[in-house]
């Protein structure tokens, strides 16, 4: 099987600007963006952040500015306009090549997709989380899986690249929930996905339910299900651009430091168990092959070619 990655040289430098919970129509049961990224930046702070990043690192890679950590397309009109203006001015000054954002699927419509395209956006990341309506309700997301399908279609029609973000291992997630997500990934064919194994963030509703033993969380299952989603995407030729949250602001997590490599190794072992013996793998994933080999579940006759 040939695995699909994005070579480091092909990745843009993404300058993240966090808009921490701005635009969010409700607070999802698992989410605390402040714990992940701090208070966020105001529109007038955006140019300074970009200049700082550019002084620090850019090289020859294309530079993109991304608005993360909230629901960009649901910002109040005036605030949205201020962030858009900051972004388009940075493009005009040649400091960034394109814009991207993450947002909720139920805040995308054809008009918004058109506005994003005409403002210099090339990529939209949707917080899909899961394609199981049962689990979306548990997460208190306030939207359905069909909202995600609709948003993907509209963004693609507008010519935008679509990245879907999924969460694996949410408390009491069932194998059926994950199977539903895996089928939907193959059907929707996003351009790429990100996978975030669930993290119990203190102060969130789900963390309180876990503390009261009203829900159950198993980090091992979260890793295995991340591997399920990763494999479903790979089998459809869809690259995974990230597995796990950046660790900088997180005090502790129940996962190993090399979470992404462990998830990919689990996927490799799983394929080998199904009888796959020939693997073409991006060179950047060499560590995952080493982890798979050490697992005691890797067939000696398996052949690996690094691309």
Q: From the CB of 21, what's the least distance to ligand SF4, in Å?
A: 6
x/- string (CB under 6 A) for ligand SF4, residues 86-125?
A: ------------------x---------------------
Binding of ligand SF4 by 145 (CB under 6 A): no
Binding of ligand SF4 by 27 (CB under 6 A): yes
Q: From the CB of 170, what's the least distance to ligand SF4, in Å?
A: 12
Q: What are residue 73's phi and psi, to 5 degrees?
A: -80, 0
- Please return the burial class of 213, using the count of CB atoms within 10 Å of its CB with bins 0-12, 13-18 and 19+: exposed
> In DSSP terms, which residues pair with 170 in a beta bridge?
none
Single out the residue of 13, 17, 31, 243 in contact with ligand SF4 (rule: CB under 6 A): 31
Q: From the CB of 39, what's the least distance to ligand SF4, in Å?
A: 14
Binding of ligand SF4 by 22 (CB under 6 A): no
x/- string (CB under 6 A) for ligand SF4, residues 228-267?
A: ----------------------------------------
Do 209 and 215 contact (CB within 8 A), yes or no? yes
String of DSSP letters for 232-269: HHHHTT--EEEES--STT-S--SS-TTHHHHHHHHHHH
In order of 15, 128, 131, 173, the CA distances from 176 in angstroms are 37, 17, 11, 8
Q: CA-CA distance, 216 to 278, in Å (whole number)?
A: 38
Q: From the CB of 262, what's the least distance to ligand SF4, in Å?
A: 24
Q: CA-CA distance, 96 to 119, in Å (whole number)?
A: 13
Candidate segments 20-28, 48-56, 226-234, 285-293, binder of ligand SF4 by CB under 6 A:
20-28
Nearer to ligand SF4, 22 or 225 (CB): 22
Binding of ligand SF4 by 148 (CB under 6 A): no
In order of 120, 190, 257, the CA distances from 285 in angstroms are 32, 22, 15
Give the number of other CB atoms < 10 A from CB of residue 106. 20
User: Which positions from 32 through 61 interact with ligand SF4, judged by CB under 6 A?
Assistant: 33
Classify the C-alpha dihedral 147-206-19-162 as positive or negative.
negative
Q: From the CB of 248, what's the least distance to ligand SF4, in Å?
A: 18
Binding of ligand SF4 by 130 (CB under 6 A): no
Q: CA-CA distance, 303 to 298, in Å (whole number)?
A: 11
Binding of ligand SF4 by 24 (CB under 6 A): yes
Size of the site for ligand SF4 (CB under 6 A): 10
Contacting positions for ligand SF4 (CB under 6 A): 21, 24, 27-28, 31, 33, 70-71, 104, 127
């Amino acid at each position: 099987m040939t695995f699909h990655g994005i070579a480091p040289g092909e990745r843009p430098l993404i300058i993240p600007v966090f808009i921490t919970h701005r635009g969010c129509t409700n607070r999802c049961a698992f989410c605390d963006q402040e714990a992940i990224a701090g208070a966020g930046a105001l529109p007038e702070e955006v140019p300074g952040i970009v200049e700082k990043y550019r002084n620090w690192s850019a090289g020859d890679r294309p530079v993109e500015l991304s608005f993360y950590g909230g629901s960009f397309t649901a910002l109040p009109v005036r605030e949205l306009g201020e962030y858009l203006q900051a972004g388009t001015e940075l493009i005009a000054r040649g400091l960034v090549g394109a814009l991207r954002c993450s947002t909720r699927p139920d805040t995308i419509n054809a008009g918004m997709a058109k506005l994003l395209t005409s403002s210099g956006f090339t990529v939209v990341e949707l917080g899909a989380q899961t394609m199981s309506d049962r689990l979306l309700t548990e997460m208190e997301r306030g939207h359905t899986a069909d909202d995600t399908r609709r948003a993907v279609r509209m963004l693609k029609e507008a010519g935008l690249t679509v990245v879907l973000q999924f969460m694996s291992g949410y408390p009491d997630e069932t194998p059926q929930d994950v199977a539903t997500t895996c089928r939907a990934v193959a059907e929707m064919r996003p351009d790429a996905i990100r996978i975030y194994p669930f993290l119990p963030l203190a102060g969130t509703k789900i963390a309180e339910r876990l503390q009261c033993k009203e829900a159950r969380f198993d980090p091992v299952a979260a890793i295995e299900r991340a591997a399920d989603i990763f494999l479903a995407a790979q089998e459809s030729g869809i690259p995974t651009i990230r597995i796990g949250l950046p660790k900088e602001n997180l005090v502790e997590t129940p996962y190993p430091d090399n979470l992404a490599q462990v998830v990919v190794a689990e996927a490799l072992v799983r394929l080998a168990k199904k009888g796959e013996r020939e693997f073409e793998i991006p060179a950047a994933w060499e560590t995952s092959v080493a982890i798979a080999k050490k697992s005691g579940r890797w067939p000696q006759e398996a052949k690996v070619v690094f691309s």
